[in-house]
Chains A and B, each alone.
Chain A
Amino acid sequence: MSTASSPSRLGALLMTPVHFVMRLIDAPVRGLQKATGIGGMAAFFLAPNMLIFGIFVLLPLVINFVYSMTGGTAFFLSERQFVGADQYARLFTCGSYLDPMSCQEDAFWTAVGNTFWFVILQVALMIVTALITALILNRDLAARSFWRAVFFFPVLLSPVVVGLIWKWILQRQGLLNFILYEFGGTEPYTWLTDRNWTFAATIGVSIWAHMGFYALILLAGLQAIPKDLYEAAEMDGTRPARVFWRITLPLLAPNLLVVVVLALIRAVQIFDEVYVLTGGGPGTSTLYLTQYIYETGFASALRNPGLAAAASILMGVVLVVLTLFQLGIGRKQENKGKR
Chain B
Amino acid sequence: MGAAARFLLRRQGVNKGGRGWHWTDVVTWIWLVGGLIIMFGPAVWLAFSSFKTPAALAEFPPSILPYVTSQATVEGYDKPLQLYDAKMPDGSTRVLAEVRRIGLVSQMVDPQAPGEIVRVNMNDRTPVRTLSFATSNYTEPFVHFDFLRYLWNSVFVTVVATLITLVVNSMAAFALSKYEFRGRSAAMLIILATLMVPLSVIMVPLYSIISSLGLFNSLWGVILPTVATPTGVFILRQYMLTIPDELIDAARMDKASEWQIYWRIVLPLTAPALAVLAIFSVVWRWNDFLWPLIVLSRRELYTLQVGLSIYSGELNVQWHFILAMTVVTMIPVVLVFIFLQRFITTGIAGTGLK
Binding site for B on A (CB under 8 A): 22, 25-26, 29-30, 33, 38-39, 41-46, 48-50, 52-53, 55-61, 63-64, 67, 75-77, 132-133, 136, 139-143, 145, 147-161, 163-169, 173, 175, 178, 181-182, 208, 212-213, 216-217, 219-220, 240, 258, 262, 269, 271-272, 275-276, 279, 289-290, 293-294, 297-298, 305, 308-309, 312-313, 315-316, 319-320, 323-324, 327
**At the interface, is chain B mostly helix, strand, loop or mixed?**
helix
- Across-interface contacts of A143 in B (CB, < 8 A): 8
- Across-interface contacts of B289 in A (CB, < 8 A): 158-160, 272, 275
- Across-interface contacts of B175 in A (CB, < 8 A): 41-46
- Contact between B46 and A168, CB atoms less than 8 A apart: yes
- Contact between B312 and A164, CB atoms less than 8 A apart: yes
- Contact between A297 and B225, CB atoms less than 8 A apart: no
- Contact between A156 and B337, CB atoms less than 8 A apart: yes
- Contact between A316 and B39, CB atoms less than 8 A apart: no
A29 vs B354: C-alpha distance when bound (angstroms): 34
Q: How far is the CB of B66 from chain A (nearest CB, A)?
A: 14
Contact of B204 among A41, A159, A312 (CB under 8 A): A312
Question: Interface size of B by Cβ–Cβ distance < 8 Å?
Answer: 98
- Contact between B174 and A45, CB atoms less than 8 A apart: yes
- Contact between B168 and A52, CB atoms less than 8 A apart: yes
- Contact between A64 and B202, CB atoms less than 8 A apart: yes
Q: Contact flags (1/0) for B326-345 with A, using CB distance below 8 Å?
A: 10011001101100011011
Interchain Cβ contacts under 8 Å between A and B, 18 examples: A42-B175, A42-B181, A45-B262, A46-B175, A76-B208, A136-B28, A148-B345, A154-B39, A158-B305, A161-B329, A164-B322, A165-B43, A168-B45, A169-B42, A173-B62, A217-B352, A275-B289, A319-B196
A151 vs B31: C-alpha distance when bound (angstroms): 11
- Contact between B42 and A166, CB atoms less than 8 A apart: yes
Contact of B313 among A33, A212, A279 (CB under 8 A): A279
Contact of B203 among A42, A151, A294 (CB under 8 A): A294
Once A156-B283, A178-B62, A315-B201 are accepted as A-B contacts, the answer to whether A136 and B194 lie under 8 Å apart by CB is no
- Contact between B290 and A271, CB atoms less than 8 A apart: yes
- Contact between B200 and A293, CB atoms less than 8 A apart: yes
- Across-interface contacts of A258 in B (CB, < 8 A): 352
- Across-interface contacts of B290 in A (CB, < 8 A): 271-272, 290, 294
Residue of chain A at shortest CB distance from B330: A161
A149 vs B212: C-alpha distance when bound (angstroms): 44
B172 at the binding interface (Cβ < 8 Å): yes
- Contact between B205 and A63, CB atoms less than 8 A apart: yes
Residue of chain A at shortest CB distance from B4: A142
- Contact between B61 and A181, CB atoms less than 8 A apart: yes
Contact of A309 among B194, B205, B287, B323 (CB under 8 A): B205
A216 vs B349: C-alpha distance when bound (angstroms): 7
- Contact between A61 and B227, CB atoms less than 8 A apart: no
- Across-interface contacts of B208 in A (CB, < 8 A): 63, 67, 75-77, 305
- Across-interface contacts of A157 in B (CB, < 8 A): 43, 287, 330, 333
Contact of A165 among B169, B207, B225, B326 (CB under 8 A): B326
